[in-house]
């Protein structure tokens, strides 16, 4: 699950995979999705997939040899007392003081960062599972990371992104800045530290993922009722801003903003 070893002139990125469900093709396929979306076609990059859910968590030393990491979504809770989750929290805590590697957390990854750095993760305020595309309203007064600043400044209105979560960051960790909110989650995007960013939404998902897997699975599992299913299907007809979000995330990860 490791990419070819690069030279000192190549940038190195890792995808820390926190799900291995067969409907996505397992951990390697989930990691490959991130690589396919975020790997630059014009620059020399090496990517490694860490199957954290199977115990393959990066070491603290990797923070000095990698330029950045994604932490993916997961069916688990950031509050679960499981070894790989606790190990990953330690890794995140160490990264807060790293000047080299940048980290982006997506959904569960976003929540895990919040928990690891001293925030609180709870069930959604509505106590209902959120599955839909949703308007995400950004803080236009944010001044910080240039990649995220440029994204916000370039918007005519809210972002529309795909959501899939039963929990969210309820309380910010010390020093973190909330950048966006939606009707169902107050902390949609968080600048945790200078080198750590998190997003509750799933910019890596596509509508077909919802139609083929998420809606049927969650409806059959009782997390989505008939009305929720209808609302989700209707929301998927609206245009998404996923490509704008992924472009900003890659700029952040690759330090194009520095």
pLDDT on residue 3: 42
pLDDT on residue 1: 42
pLDDT on residue 257: 67
pLDDT on residue 9: 64
Catalytic, 150? Answer no
pLDDT profile of the chain (258 residues), mean per 10: 50 97 96 96 89 97 95 98 98 86 97 98 96 95 84 91 98 96 96 95 97 96 94 97 96 83
pLDDT on residue 244: 95
For the domain covering 12-254, report its CATH number: 3.40.50.880
**Catalytic pick from 134, 167, 181, 204?**
204
**Catalytic pick from 110, 165, 187, 202?**
202
pLDDT on residue 10: 87
Q: Of 229, 241, 110, 245, which is closest to residue 165 (Cα–Cα)? A: 110
pLDDT on residue 24: 95
Catalytic, 204? Answer yes
pTM comes to 0.94
**Catalytic pick from 18, 107, 164, 232?**
107
pLDDT on residue 141: 84
> What residue spans define the domains of the chain?
12-254
Catalytic, 186? Answer no
């Amino acid at each position: 699950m490791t990419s070819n070893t690069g030279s000192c002139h190549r940038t190195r990125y890792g995808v820390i995979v926190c799900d291995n469900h067969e409907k996505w093709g397992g951990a390697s396929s989930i990691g490959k999705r991130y690589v396919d979306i975020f790997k630059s076609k014009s620059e020399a990059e090496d990517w490694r997939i860490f199957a954290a859910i199977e115990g393959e968590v990066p070491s603290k030393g990797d923070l000095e040899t990698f330029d950045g990491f994604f932490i993916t979504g997961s069916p688990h809770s950031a509050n679960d007392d499981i070894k790989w989750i606790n190990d990953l929290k330690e890794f995140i805590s160490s990264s807060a003081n790293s000047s080299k590697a940048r980290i982006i957390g997506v959904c569960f990854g976003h929540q895990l960062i919040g928990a690891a750095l001293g925030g609180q993760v709870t069930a959604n305020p509505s106590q209902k599972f959120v599955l839909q595309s949703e308007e995400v309203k950004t803080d236009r007064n944010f001044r910080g990371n240039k990649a995220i600043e440029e994204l916000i400044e370039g918007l005519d209105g809210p972002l529309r992104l795909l959501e899939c979560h039963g929990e969210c960051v309820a309380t910010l960790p010390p020093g973190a800045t909330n950048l966006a909110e939606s009707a169902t989650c107050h902390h949609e995007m968080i600048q945790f530290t200078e080198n750590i960013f998190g997003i509750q939404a799933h910019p890596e998902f596509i509508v077909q993922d919802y139609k083929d897997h998420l809606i049927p699975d969650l409806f059959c599992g009782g997390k989505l009722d008939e009305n929720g299913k209808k609302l989700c299907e209707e929301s998927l007809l609206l245009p998404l801003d996923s490509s704008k979000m992924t472009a900003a995330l890659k700029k952040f990860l690759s330090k194009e903003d520095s």
